[in-house]
Structure 1
Amino acid sequence: MAKKTPRAPYVRLTRPLVRDAGELRPASWDEALDRAAEGFRRNVEAHGPDAFGMFSCARATNEMNFVAQKFTRVVIGTNNVDSCNRTCHAPSVAGLAAAFGSGGGTSSYQEIEDTDLIVLWGSSAREAHPIFFQHVLKAIRRGARVFAVDPRRTSTARWADRWLGLNVGTDIPLANAVAREIIHAGLHNTTFVERGTSGFAEFAASVEPWTLEAAERETGVPAAAIRELAHAYARADRAQLCWTLGITEHHNATDNVRALINLALLTGHVGCYGSGLNPLRGQNNVQGGGDMGAIPDRLAGFQDILDPAVRTRFAQAWGREIQPRHGLNLTDMLAAMGAGTLTAAYIIGENPTQSEADAEHTVKRLGLLDHLVVQDIFLTRTARMADVVLPAGAAWCESDGTMTNSERRVQRVRKALDPPGEARDDIDILCALARRLGHDWRYERAEDIWDEVRSLSPIHAGMSYARLEERQGIQWPCYSEDGEEPSFLHSRLWETDPEARGRPAPFAVLRHSPPVDRLDQEFPLRLTTGRRLDSYNTGVQSGGFASPLRRGENVELSPEDAERLGVTTGEQVRISSRRGTVTAPAFVDPALRPGLVFMTMHFPDEVNTNSLTIEATDPIAGTAEYKATAVRVEKVGGN
């Protein structure tokens, strides 16, 4: 196949831009900030604070995310703040919080290396999380078994002892069948179930219909493989269950997460060293953004915004009452734009015109805004729609502060370079806007912001910069500077004293709900989307260079489907859904089973995959069903 010439790379923004007569033109910082602030003021005065929405950035520091959500709640007066956590792991946060009270992964990376069995469910970790996968490889070298549960036989699955290739959207039937087999074989941990959980009887009754044979018919996974997974997971002394977007990007994603949590509760594989439940985060600070309160229902430290004592503590520190209700999440904000009730938006480091499901619908909604301000390092497709574009100095080597990874480890990052041209630090920009809107914010150092976080968030209280330097990162919770933080969470569930145990972790009764976008004669194939090792998200940072790994976007087909269509690798095909059509080269991949198609969102300037995906969302978390789109594929120019 002939190599495609890479598109020209995005050029760093170095000057502010403002829109005049429909076009963006260079402007001074004073003009740009004045326009941005005046637009926000005008919209709040006309429509109220809830007509404003903030999209914060999961690649920026904890300190930036803290200031962004504070700007939203204090300067504007709304809880309408969210980040790309909504696109990927909001269901993980919701599911873990419902079971345990907090939304972080339960284990450390070291425990991955020391465990006996690893289940990677809906996770192509080798490509999507290559650093984490090194810990998996270390575990394999010391004898750990690996099960991969994924519709595709990915490069991750090829490292596994057993691959369970399930049909897209059948995770709950599979998990329920695993649970039923564990119960019927008498392998559930009765001590832990009685001590640390609730609702077992109802749960056991709910999984009873999911025999191995029934699950095989629904999921496509052989009954023998389901039984093997059930026995291996239940019998392991230590077991880690890890997942990614194959679990969370569904219309019933929170239920998917709860289904996996059920398995850990059933076997006692949580709350002890070496066993745990771990959502693998896709961006460098998606965990930290949520921890800092850049979500609509929680304040920093994952504190419930509906708790009067929590709101009072923040109001006393900030000098403004916090609204006693949940704000709009990212999905809700986009819907409110379409309805005309959200009229102004401030987007920092996100590119929703290319990352959101049914992307062209998102473009139309953003186009309805009275005032859009985008703060970024590149002129993305979203930035090209803005009324004001603010150039940020927020590349990985241009910021000082902290970030939090998937194991809840807070680590220092340090500024090594000044941003190019007139670009300014994200926090400086936020504070300059706050001052124009009547709040005299002047943080001298990132550490000043972090100390404010520590004063308000109990789980971060013991993490001074000095201690973070000394320890080379600390996992939350860390309540005091002389205390030790646990490497794993929820050990309380094993306590014999009921008072020390606290609230038991509830089992969830879950029903199977097939993908919303149903297959039929017109759209007979199932498109699922994901990531590749060589590229990153919407391609802004990784798409504009030549690489021996980079092959651009493809429509990946099974050999059987390619033969039926008369298509070979490199030939152009047209792929259509009920929402749109794109054209791209075919790539015949034996990792795919018949009926399954795979694409990424890495190359939207060439092929906008998200113009195909469906906007059906999880009602709890608001995450869209990127993983289950009904499509048809046709050979371009063919019969």
Structure 2
Amino acid sequence: MEEVVKFNLDGEEVLAKAGETIWDVAFRNGNELPHLCHSGEIGYRPDGNCRACMVEIEGERTLAASCIRKPTENMVVKSANPRSVKARKMVMELLLADQPEKSVAHDQSSHLFKTAELQDLTYSRFPLIESELVVPIDDSHSAMRVNLDACIHCGLCARACREVQVNDVIGMAGRGRTSQIVFDFADPMGNSTCVACGECVQACPTGALMPASIMDENQIGDSQDYQEEITSVCPFCGVGCQISLKVDDNQIKYVDGHLGPANEQRLCIKGRFGYDYISHPHRLTKPLIRKKDAPPKGLNVDPGNFADFFREVSWDEALELTAGQFGALSTEFGGKTIAGFGSAKCTNEEAYLFQKLIRQGFGHNNVDHCTRLCHASSVSALIENIGSGAVTATFNEIENADVAIIIGANPIENHPVAATYFKQFAKRGGTLILMDPRGSELKRYTKYNLNFQPGTDVSMLNAIMHTILEEELYDTEYIGKFTKNWDALKEHLADFTPEKMAEICKIDAATLREVARVFATGKAGMIFWGMGISQHIHGTDNSRCLISLALMCGHVGKPGTGLHPLRGQNNVQGASDAGLIPMFLPDYQGVENDSVRSKFTNVWNSDDFSSAPGLTVTEIIEAIHEGNIRSMYILGENPAMSDPDVVHARQALEKLDFLVVQDIFLTETANYADVILPAAAFAEKNGTVTNTNRQVQMGRKAVEAPGEAMEDWWITNEIGKRMGLNWNYTHPSEIFAEMKLTMQSLDNITWQRLEEQNSVTYPCESPEDPGQSIVFGDGFPTSDGLASFTPASIIPPDELPDDEFPMILITGRQLEHWHTGSM
């Protein structure tokens, strides 16, 4: 039973839960005491330095800051008595005297001004305080403005930076009246090591830190100067941060973090400031058809001046040509000669509808998306060994772990908000083990940093497992109850001694053994991995090793444990769940299974389609060169930039008889198109997305699409109708309802519930259940309920450095950049 404390607050008996302060209890009971240095948001430590929340405690001579004072049994607290009210007003008046006048304030609707107004204060009795410091405007950063004449030294920005985001850029310099907030060593913000997450801007109560987008040339701004606030989901990485879009006159003025389960209000530079592409002048606004006398196809189209290549047409003309050409080519050469690339940047409904078009419309499974270049090998290993391709625990679960491995991932740049939880984990004493050939900023927070030889993942991981086996550190009870094929793994690991493998992976044997002991003996351990594991010819074997390592230690299905491949794009999990892959229908139901296909054709009211798995992304490109694929429908993908061999891919696109590209910009791939269909961006449509945590979340339309651009589901629906399919969707909620008919993962998750709650995690056991953040605690979704150990052998790279090419290129993202440069 949770420990509670009974005390008296303003004449009423109230209960405080464990860890609650007087301010927390007052707020929970409908009394929001004034506060400036305190934030009630998750992750912020109360500080008590502004004295705006003072209360009187019976029997004590001095007033107490309610945000840091915890109640004791039978304590009597007075927050509404004259002494407390007068003291709080005095504090506010003194702070107002140290602010720019409201008419020229940097934030005319700041939390400070609103707090003062709630205390019936519109001005201060005291004269404006003349600072001894002349603080210049800091406009060195393109996204943020710093005006320290409004700073009250509350310290929220420093806590936001150092404790919430754990970036350690903001601090306090000087003493007394000469003290001030600084970035690094008093550098201009734009020249400092600031990563522009903007957490400090969202936390600042005075306007000393503001988004540049809402400041005028006189540094005057108003954070409340917008018409409406729309809650949606960030369109960048797989973390799935919820965001609050501030909209005015069909423009996004700025973005704040929203209290979502994955981000708890935190954002990164892309999520907070990377939205201006929505109103970029190069957005596609009308359907385009290639001119008959256009120059030859190639990377030769200026997105701002395409008149020599394409002509603008009506939607009817573009859609009729698209459907007509697809139909004619299908009749002449067969449906299997038409392939589709869907997108992990679109919604679940759009992914579902796209794969349905290829299967129902053309009768085969030649449909894929960027997961093929992402975590396809991870999914293959997960399905093979634990019966599910999704993560077994959310990344937030690391708060309950005591040891964690991060391998082949660079979350500080790839998944910055997830990285904040990893850094917090390390700062509070958790053991973080980083394994990566490439150096990473995360190594500042790790206890062990294994920079192993590129391509030697299997040898290193097998050596670690060998140690666990040799020293009998494995979880015998867990292995016996929940796994199979243990003896085969034991036999296989016998030759992988750390001493032998050290020569291969270039990590000394003593370190391998120590890491093995630390991970195996931890009470709760997690494993996170990224493209550094999956993007190999032995990517599946890499993942098998990680799965075996977690299973042999019993680190699955319990609090603080789990396997978590960090997903790349914002909806790569959801698009895969929705069947946008060539060998699986929605929910990873195999296309070769007759009863599965029958279930789908009954729901779709259509003929059967091929039982043969379709071609993958790279196989489709090869099939074009071989003449087996003659036409393509590419939605939101950019293979002319993302394919491993772009020259090969571009030559393939040039060879196609007919290419339709659906996107928001005239991308490199669109250069080769015969028809270009203008689509809506994330903030211009409604629909659900699923993040790396298995959290199904509602994305909402905030602004209108430019010109005649339309939502992707509408465009695909119109093509389907014109091809003669029995489609008549009028809203994405209708598509979602159809998905639920064949996808068990969506049980107890409804469109209405997502509208109301924003996010629900699958699997979800009841209409009231928020969803299971940890799965497989009582067994696995396999035929016998057991997970399997699959031994992995060393597969040498096809190419090794030599005298002519002595170096190895290790690729990776940059924090500020996004994939192929197109959304």
Shorter-chain TM-score tier: 0.7 to 0.9
CA contact (8 A) 1:106 1:277 kept: yes
> Secondary structure at 1:491's aligned position in 2?
coil
Q: How does 1:269-308 map to 2 (within 5 A)?
A: 269-308=555-594
Aligned residue for 2:609?
322
Is it true that 1:455 corresponds to 2:741 in the alignment?
yes
Residue number among 346, 359, 373 corresponding to 2:646 in the alignment: 359
**Residue 529 (structure 1) aligned with residue 811 (structure 2):** yes
Establish whether residue 104 from structure 1 lines up as the match of residue 375 from structure 2.
no
What is the identity percentage for the equivalent residue pairs of Structure 1 and Structure 2? 37
Q: Name the residue aligned to 2:285.
A: 14
CA displacement, residues 106-147 of structure 1 (integer Å, 9 cap, x when unaligned): 102331222111110011111100011122123223321101
1:368 aligns with 2:655: yes
Q: Which of 329, 342, 357 is matched with 2:629 structurally? A: 342
Question: What amino acid is the match of 2:429?
Answer: G
Q: Deviations over 1:336-375 (max 9, x none)?
A: 1111001111000010111111110111111111111000
Q: CA deviation at 1:10?
A: 7.7
Letter of the structure 2 residue corresponding to residue 241 of structure 1: I
CA drift at 1:479: 5.5
AA in 1 matched with 2:475:
N
Contact 2:484 2:786 (8 Å CA) reproduced: yes
* Map 1:37-436 → 2, pairs under 5 A: 37-320=323-606, 321-393=608-680, 395-436=681-722
Indicate conservation of the 8 Å contact 2:289/2:313, yes or no: yes
Q: Does the aligned pair in 2 maintain the 1:71–1:434 contact within 8 Å?
A: yes
1:561-572 matches, within 5 Å, as: none
Describe how 1:533-548 pairs up with structure 2 within 5 A.
533-540=815-822
Q: 2-side partners of 1:526 and 1:102: how far apart?
A: 34
CA shift in 2, pair 1:500/1:91, >3 Å: closer
Distance 2:784 2:769 in 1: 21
Q: Is the 8 A contact 2:365 2:610 kept in 1?
A: yes
CA–CA distance in structure 2, aligned partners of residues 338 and 262 of structure 1 = 40
Q: Distance in 2 between matches of 1:480 and 1:114?
A: 25
CA contact (8 A) 2:387 2:782 kept: no
- Provide closer, same or farther for how the CA distance between residues 295 and 480 of structure 1 changes in structure 2, counting only shifts above 3 A: farther
Choose 413-422 or 196-205, whichever is displaced more. Answer: 196-205
**2:696 alignment partner, SS class:** strand
Give, in whole Å, the separation in 2 of the partners of 1:303 and 1:257.
21
Distance between the aligned counterparts of 1:258 and 1:31, measured in 2? 50
CA contact (8 A) 2:365 2:614 kept: yes
In the alignment, is the contact (CA less than 8 A) between 1:172 and 1:259 conserved in 2? yes
TM-score (norm 2): 0.63
Post-superposition shift, 1:409?
0.6
The answer as to whether partners of 1:492 and 1:502 remain within 8 angstroms in 2 is no
The 8 Å contact of residues 337 and 369 in structure 1, kept in 2 or not, is answered as yes
Structure 1 position 518, deviation (Å): 2.0
**Cα shift at 1:486:** 2.0
Does the 8 Å CA contact 2:372/2:616 hold for their aligned counterparts?
Answer: yes
Q: What CA deviation, in whole Å up to 9, does each residue of 1:276-317 have, x standing for no partner?
A: 000001110000000000111111122222222221111111
After superposition, what is the alpha-carbon deviation per residue over 1:476-511, rounded to whole angstroms, capped at 9, x for unaligned?
A: 1236535663221222339xxxx9993321111211
Aligned residue number for residue 515 of structure 1 = 797
The amino acid across from 2:414 in the alignment is A
Which aligned pairs between 1:456-475 and structure 2 lie closer than 5 A?
456-475=742-761
Deviation at residue 468 of structure 1 after TM alignment: 2.4
**1:517: Cα distance to partner?**
2.1
| Cα distance, 1:470 vs structure 2 | 4.2
How far the C-alpha of 1:59 sits from its partner, in A, is 0.7
Equivalent positions of 1:468-617 (< 5 A) are 468-478=754-764, 480-481=766-767, 485-493=771-779, 502-540=784-822
Name the SS for the 1:123 alignment partner.
coil
Question: How far off is 1:216 after superposition?
Answer: 1.2
1:562-615 residue CA offsets vs partner (Å, 9 max, x unmatched): xxxxxxxxxxxxxxxxxxxxxxxxxxxxxxxxxxxxxxxxxxxxxxxxxxxxxx
C-alpha displacement at 1:105, in angstroms? Answer: 0.7
Aligned residues of 1:287 and 1:405 also touching (Cα < 8 A): yes
- For residues 25-84 of structure 1, what are the alpha-carbon distances to aligned partners after superposition, in whole Å with 9 as ceiling and x for unaligned? 222212211121122111111111111111001011101101101111112221111110
| Structure 2: runs of 5 or more not aligned | 1-276, 295-308
Q: CA offset at residue 325 of structure 1?
A: 2.1
In the alignment, structure 1 segments of 5+ residues that lack a partner are 1-7, 542-639
CA separation of 1:291/1:443 partners in 2, compared to 1, >3 Å: closer, same or farther?
A: same
Amino acid at match of 1:14: T
Three-state SS of the structure 2 residue aligned to 1:527 is coil
| Distance in 2 between residues matched to 1:173 and 1:151, nearest whole Å | 14
Q: Which amino acid aligns with 1:267?
A: C
Report if the CA contact (8 A) 2:462-2:493 is conserved: yes
Structure 1's 10 and 147: CA in aligned 2 closer, same or farther, altered over 3 A?
farther
Deviations 1:506-553 (A, max 9, x none): 111211112222221111111111111111101235xxxxxxxxxxxx
Preserved contact between residue 460 and residue 479 of structure 1 (Cα < 8 Å): no
TM-score by length of 1: 0.80
Query: 1:574 corresponds to which residue?
Result: none
CA RMSD of aligned residues (A): 1.8
SS of match in other structure, 1:456: coil
Contact 1:197-1:506 within 8 A present in 2 as well? yes
Distance apart, 1:456 and its partner CA: 1.3
CA–CA separation in structure 2 for the residues paired with 1:304 and 1:157: 41
Structure with max Cα Rg: 2
What SS class does the counterpart of residue 704 from structure 2 fall into?
A: coil
Alignment of 1:18-29 (within 5 A): 18-20=289-291, 21-22=293-294, 23-29=309-315
Q: Post-superposition shift, 1:440?
A: 3.7
> For the residues of structure 2 that align with 1:479 and 1:271, how far apart are their CA atoms?
16
* Higher relative contact order (CA closer than 8 Å, sequence separation 6+): 1
Structure 2 counterpart of 1:231, one-letter code: R
* Letter of the 2:635 counterpart: I
The 8 Å contact of residues 433 and 448 in structure 2, kept in 1 or not, is answered as yes
Contact preservation (8 Å) 1:459, 1:479: no
Report the CA distance shift for 1:10/1:214 in structure 2 as closer, same or farther (over 3 A): farther
SS at match of 1:120: strand
Structure 2 contact 630–656 (Cα < 8 Å) conserved: yes
- Residues matched between the structures, number: 529
Where 2:763 maps in the other structure, the secondary structure is coil
Distance 1:348 1:187 in 2: 49
Tell me how far 1:266 sits from its aligned partner: 0.9
- The 8 Å contact of residues 127 and 156 in structure 1, kept in 2 or not, is answered as no
Q: Which residue identity lines up with residue 528 of structure 1 in the other structure?
A: I
